[in-house]
């Protein structure tokens, strides 16, 4: 019944490249996602690996505070998305006094981990509201 969120902001990875890596782990178990990210060749996989590990630690702390049992094998990537952050604009000199603009893009990455019991409890709560 635990749901944990981990976010990283202003990471120097373009959102398009980060979304490719996030698509690999969406819906997978947390431990399986860590294994996939560990061996993924993309450069965005390292910060996302750290983010998933942080979300697992957040779930552990949240379960301890609520005095609930947490089996880390039950955690899965419930939702993962990448938003566009601030763009750093730089200029490179070109021929005949011209300037070429370089856009260094950043990302905001969010990972949501959950347990299957939490999803079932939320689903039953919404069906009870609908039946009233």
Over residues 3-11, mean pLDDT: 94
- Residue 132 is predicted with a pLDDT of 66
The count of domains in the chain is 1
More confident residue, 69 or 86: 86
Higher pLDDT, 112 or 66: 112
Strand 3-11 and strand 107-114: the pairing is antiparallel
Residue 123 has pLDDT above 70, yes or no: no
Segments forming the whole domain that contains residue 42: 3-131
pLDDT digit string (tens) for 8-48?
A: 999 999 999 999 999 999 999 999 999 999 999 999 999 99
Backbone angles phi, psi at 59, to 5 degrees: -65, -40
CA–CA gap between residue 23 and residue 10 (Å, rounded): 20
Q: Supply the CATH number for residue 89's domain.
A: 3.90.470.10
Single pTM value for the model: 0.83
- Written in H, E and C, the secondary structure of 16-63 is HHHHHHHHHHCCCEHHHHHHHHHHCCCCCHHHHHHHHHHHHHHHHHHH
CA–CA dist 91, 32 (Å, integer): 42
């Amino acid at each position: 019944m635990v749901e944990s969120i981990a976010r990283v902001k202003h990471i120097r990875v373009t959102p398009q490249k980060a979304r490719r890596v996030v698509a690999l782990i969406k819906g997978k178990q947390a431990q399986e996602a860590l294994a996939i990210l560990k061996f993924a060749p993309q450069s965005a996989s390292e910060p996302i690996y750290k983010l998933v590990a942080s979300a697992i630690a957040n779930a552990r702390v949240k379960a301890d505070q609520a005095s609930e049992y947490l089996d880390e094998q039950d955690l899965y990537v419930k939702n993962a998305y990448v938003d566009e952050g601030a763009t750093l604009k730089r200029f490179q000199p070109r021929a005949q006094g011209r300037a070429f603009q370089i856009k260094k893009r950043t990302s905001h990455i969010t990972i949501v981990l959950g347990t299957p019991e939490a999803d079932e409890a939320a689903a039953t709560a919404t069906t009870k509201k609908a039946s009233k």
